[in-house]
Structure 1
Amino acid sequence: MRIHVQREPFDYGAECANFGQGGRDVGAVVTFLGVVRDDSGKLAAMEIEYYPGMTERAIAAIADEARTRWGLADLLIIHRHGLLAPGEAIMMVATAARHRAAAFDAAEFLMDYLKSRAPFWKKEIGPDGAKWVAAKDADEDALGRW
Structure 2
Amino acid sequence: MMRGWRAIALTAVLAALAGGAGTWISASWVLARREPPSLHDIVHHDLKLSPDQLARIEAVEARFAARRPALEADVRAANLELATAIEQSDGDSPQVQAAVDHFHVAMGALQKETITHVFEMRSVLTPEQAAIFDDRIVVALAPNEN
Normalised by the length of structure 1, the TM-score is 0.28
Structure number with bigger Rg = 2
Normalised by the length of structure 2, the TM-score is 0.28
